Amino acid sequence: MKLLTVSALLCAMMALTMAVAKSHLVKRANGCPHGWTRNSDRCFYYVPRTMTWARAERNCLSMGANLASVHSYSEYQVVQSLTGRHGYPQTWIGGTDAPQEGIWLWSDGTSFHFSAWCPEEPNNLGNQHCIQMNFEGSKCWDDLQCDHHLPSVCAKKV
């Protein structure tokens, strides 16, 4: 009986060790295309070429992605860090209220529950329907006219 317990324990330990080894393998392989950064179950990519919001979204689509949606502060930090080596320029992410004023949506269809708006934003000043990040000193979010030309961040599921 004791021996059985010990061998069962050993088996469980081996299975666990193998699972850990496997997860390391996946991590090392990254699961993302070359040059993309993995965070949780998604891959992120900074596009330095400046484009309108719609062209930036279409550019992401051409890579099987959408403009990045952001669902938590830690996720925002990851997305923001991608822009860091470029000096934190104002950058498109996937939020828009173009279909209906004041109702914010993500272009990837996920629900909009987190935001990092700057104080007084979004203000829709002169019809602003697309979200730029890295706005002003605190690098928060601002709604901006969608036809501005900005760099962008794409994201897709692993």
Sites of contact with Ca ion (CB under 5 A) = 97, 123-125, 128-129, 142-143
Beta carbon of residue 114, minimum distance to Ca ion (angstroms, whole number): 18
3-state secondary structure of 16: helix
**Taking Cα atoms as reference points, which of 39, 64, 68 lies closest to residue 151?**
68
Beta carbon of residue 109, minimum distance to Ca ion (angstroms, whole number): 19
**Taking Cα atoms as reference points, which of 31, 30, 45 lies closest to residue 155?**
45
Beta carbon nearer to Ca ion, 17 or 123: 123
Token pair in block for residue 113: 């529950």
Beta carbon of residue 121, minimum distance to Ca ion (angstroms, whole number): 5
Beta carbon nearer to Ca ion, 129 or 156: 129
Beta carbon nearer to Ca ion, 5 or 138: 138
87: left (phi over 0), alpha (psi -120 to 50) or beta: left
Beta carbon nearer to Ca ion, 99 or 109: 99
**Taking Cα atoms as reference points, which of 71, 86, 77 lies closest to residue 151?**
86
Beta carbon of residue 102, minimum distance to Ca ion (angstroms, whole number): 7
